[in-house]
Amino acid sequence: MNNVKTFVLMAGLFGLFLLVGQLLGGSSGLVIALVFGSLFNFIMYFFSDRLVLKMYGAQVVTAQEAPELHAMVDRLRQKAGLPMPTVAVAPHEQPNAFATGRNPEHAVVAVTTGILKYMPQAELEGVLAHELAHIKNRDMLIATVAAGIAGALSNLPYLLMFGGGRDDEGGHPFAQIALILLAPLGAMLIQFAVSRQREFEADRVGAIILGRPTPLANALIRLDDFAHKIPMHVPPAVAPLAQVNPLAATGGMMSKLFSTHPPTAERVARLEAMMLGA
């Protein structure tokens, strides 16, 4: 169901892109937006591992430097049917973790020093299984495509200044103004909704990799608690990669719509439903 929802959201995002591009710039608008948006996000996707590690201040660690962590990742990645990812540690006191890389053969699993300090082993395994699930599901590619379309929508009006605008006479000025104002917001909301569905799916697949959902459910509760107690200073662009967004604010429905992660309580409830066989 998470994958179906992701497909519907991605189709909606691409449909919005086609509509806006056609109304604002005709066929030339579509081409300009797609080329520039895709080029920028392809660069980000291809070099994501190095860029993200740098932004988190993370360092790659060898099996000799972190034998227990490497052994844990190696054991879980075999259960997931994945090649061994690069392992890294980020110097942050807040317990957290993230995965990046353009494909399973170039993947990185990173944890913070705080998670190694505060997280029980069983829960740490749950966290790592979740990150390996992101790799298995190729969520970096999905996020890149969603970001590419959303970014192209946001920059389409500016790109059209250099592309000559519409190539026909069927423009609708009021509709164009409304789209310029509302389309980027709509694209961002869909992009965030895609991200939330991928987190739900990574929870589900992570629990399957681990063989039981309880450790991950407990880990999410612990991570959420620490996120409100210990700050983590990372660039907003890479904060959504963390298992619990370190910069996310709590709030009501509006906050949820603009969140890259589902509420922890919902994630835990779904994992508990797996325990009950629902």
Asked whether 109 and 97 are in contact (CB, 8 A), the reply is: yes
Place of tokens 């944890």: 111
Catalytic residue among 131, 169, 199, 272: 131
From residue 196, how far is each of 48, 66, 199 by CA, in Å?
A: 20, 31, 5
Contact between 49 and 100 under an 8 Å Cβ cutoff? The reply is yes
Distance CA 92, CA 57 (A): 9
**Is 169 annotated as catalytic?**
no
Are the beta carbons of 85 and 134 closer than 8 angstroms? no
Q: Can you tell me the distance from the alpha carbon of 151 to that of 99, in angstroms, rounded to the nearest whole number?
A: 22
DSSP secondary structure string for all residues of 207-275: HHHHT-SHHHHHHHHHHHHHHTTS-----TTTGGGBSS-TTPPP-SHHHHHT-SS--HHHHHHHHHHHH
DSSP assignment of 38-91 equals HHHHHHHHHTHHHHHHHHHT-EE--TTTSHHHHHHHHHHHHHHT-PPPEEEEE-
Enzyme catalytic residues: 131
